[in-house]
Amino acid sequence: MIAEVKKNVYWVGAVDWGIRHFHGYELSTHRGTTYNAYLIRDEKTVLVDTVWGPFADQLVENIRQIIDPSKIDIVVANHAEVDHSGGLPVVMRHAPNATVVVSQRGAESVEGHFHQPWKFRAVKTGHNISIGQNELIFVEAPMLHWPDSMFTYLTGHNILLPNDAFGQHYASAYRFNDEVDQGELYEEAHKYYANILTPFSDLVTKKIDEVLALSLPVDMIGPSHGIIWRKDPLQIVKKYQEWAAQRPEQRAVVIYDTMWDGTRRMAEAIGDGLTDVGVDHKILHAVVTDRNDLLVEVFRAKTVVVGSPTLNNSVLPTIAPLLYDLKGLKFKNKLGAAFGCYGWSGEGVKVIEEQLDQAKIPVIREGIKCKWQPRAEDLEACRSFGREVGKATKKA
């Protein structure tokens, strides 16, 4: 169902209620998502972004409710990833004379995805295109979250269309932030930031400063996923500034896997130690916790405590990807610690500490190991370890 978000500016995208995994299976989307595309009617007709390929016909039918799709003059492709550009081939079949406006890097990536002889125009930051009464102004936003990513600003209506930035994987019957459950909205916006934008936090800060310095009035922010920020639209910009600063909460997350419950019992004893010194925490069994939800807890926490028994001179295969995520997402301002049971050689704790070091997460103290199943005194040592980790968490 289309929606007129401002006079002559329409949401013509699609709501994908059923999707539960994104980027293949990399990202969980418990609440579905939307693919937001915007049709602007002025002397020229502009489509900003499309939808994922399977929804392309729906996009065209949405457009047809407003205008004959062949009348589209300009298609802005802010970003080539196919959840936004996948509908381009169908749109361009209906509007073969339209110009596809892309960033400089988008000229590579959009062409590289579709290999079509469309008429392209590559723009840089500050370039503008008059569409009649109003103008489109472009701001390149490399690594928010791809090198080709770009923001489009519509003058007159004062709408910022920043593609993936400020988005959420959140299917809703409503289009605007003032219409939806605020807890759900922020949970999804936070998960989106933590899992997708964390490694680019310095660039997020710089880009927001750059856009704010342009002093463009912003009445609405229409990301390419989820709801549109209409009420106090800069609230999400302020929230991004806060998240990009990566100032974690004085809390901990204890993440473990276990073979015969020894490492689980260690995790819980460490948790008791954290409680002793008043440090809030979660204890997450990596096997049964959604990876992306787990990474949100890592994002929030000052201290990440990782536990695994030793297997094949290393950690369990469920813990290894987490250690790569800690490195890949480039978390800042964290502290770490390691623990685990072992039977024979006992390298698991050392492997975790090496990986924490590679992720630039300093360890609070040497990790704690337990041979075979923990005895009462081993669990008391874990509790003491938890107290020490907790005190360091509060001090930092």
Q: Pinpoint the alpha helices (H) of 179-229.
A: 182-192, 201-213
From the candidates 35, 49, 79, 157, give the one annotated as an active-site residue.
Answer: 79
Judged by beta carbon, residue 207 or residue 225, the one nearer ligand FEO is 225
From the candidates 10, 35, 49, 145, give the one annotated as an active-site residue.
Answer: 145
Confirm whether 23 is a catalytic residue.
Answer: yes
Give me the residue whose beta carbon is nearest to ligand FEO: 81
Please report the sign of the dihedral spanned by the C-alpha atoms of residue 110, residue 101, residue 201, residue 288.
Answer: negative
Which one-letter amino acid corresponds to residue 72?
A: I
Confirm whether 256 is a catalytic residue.
Answer: no
Q: Which stretch binds ligand FEO (CB under 6 A): 76-84, 116-124, 341-349, 374-382?
A: 76-84
Please count the other Cβ atoms lying within 10 Å of the Cβ belonging to residue 182: 9
Contact criterion met (CB below 8 Å) for 386 and 271:
yes
- 16, 42, 49, 83: residue in contact with ligand FEO (rule CB under 6 A): 83
Least separation in angstroms between residue 154's CB and ligand FEO is 20
Site string for ligand FEO, 297-326 (x = CB under 6 A): ------------------------------
Least separation in angstroms between residue 14's CB and ligand FEO is 13
Answer left, alpha or beta for residue 124, where phi above 0 means left and psi between -120 and 50 means alpha. beta
Query: In sequence order, what DSSP letters do the residues of 296-350 get, joined into one string?
Result: HHHHHEEEEEEE---BTTB--TTHHHHHHHHHHTT--S-EEEEEEEESSS--HHH
Judged by beta carbon, residue 81 or residue 257, the one nearer ligand FEO is 81
- 42, 81, 188, 257: residue in contact with ligand FEO (rule CB under 6 A): 81
What torsion do the CA atoms of 57, 60, 64, 67 make, to the nearest 10 degrees?
A: -170
Q: Which stretch binds ligand FEO (CB under 6 A): 62-70, 80-88, 98-106, 249-257?
A: 80-88
Dist CA 93 CA 383 (whole Å): 65
Judged by beta carbon, residue 29 or residue 177, the one nearer ligand FEO is 29
Segment (H or E) for 125:
none
Write out the binding residues for ligand FEO, residues 157-196 only, by CB under 6 A. Answer: 164
Q: Which stretch binds ligand FEO (CB under 6 A): 81-89, 263-271, 300-308, 331-339?
A: 81-89
Dist CA 76 CA 195 (whole Å): 26
Confirm whether 79 is a catalytic residue.
Answer: yes
Dist CA 70 CA 298 (whole Å): 48
Dist CA 196 CA 371 (whole Å): 38
From the candidates 38, 192, 256, 342, give the one annotated as an active-site residue.
Answer: 192
From the candidates 170, 225, 257, 281, give the one annotated as an active-site residue.
Answer: 225
Judged by beta carbon, residue 225 or residue 265, the one nearer ligand FEO is 225
Contact criterion met (CB below 8 Å) for 84 and 148:
no
Q: Which stretch binds ligand FEO (CB under 6 A): 75-83, 200-208, 253-261, 372-380?
A: 75-83
Contact criterion met (CB below 8 Å) for 144 and 203:
yes
Confirm whether 225 is a catalytic residue.
Answer: yes
Confirm whether 30 is a catalytic residue.
Answer: no
Please report the sign of the dihedral spanned by the C-alpha atoms of residue 287, residue 291, residue 296, residue 301.
Answer: positive
Q: Which stretch binds ligand FEO (CB under 6 A): 78-86, 182-190, 326-334, 371-379?
A: 78-86
Dist CA 374 CA 248 (whole Å): 32
Confirm whether 174 is a catalytic residue.
Answer: no
* Exposed/middle/buried for residue 126 (C-beta within 10 Å: 0-12, 13-18, 19+): exposed
- 42 near ligand FEO (CB under 6 A): no
Residue whose C-alpha is closest to residue 81's, from 98, 103, 57, 99: 103
Tokens encoding 282? 């979660």
**Total number of residues that touch ligand FEO (CB under 6 A):** 9
Judged by beta carbon, residue 37 or residue 208, the one nearer ligand FEO is 37
Judged by beta carbon, residue 20 or residue 391, the one nearer ligand FEO is 20
Write out the binding residues for ligand FEO, residues 189-228 only, by CB under 6 A. Answer: 224-225
Judged by beta carbon, residue 83 or residue 140, the one nearer ligand FEO is 83
Query: Known catalytic residues?
Result: 23, 79, 81, 83, 145, 164, 192, 225
Instruction: Summarize as ranges the residues that interact with ligand FEO (CB under 6 A).
Output: 79, 81, 83-84, 145-146, 164, 224-225
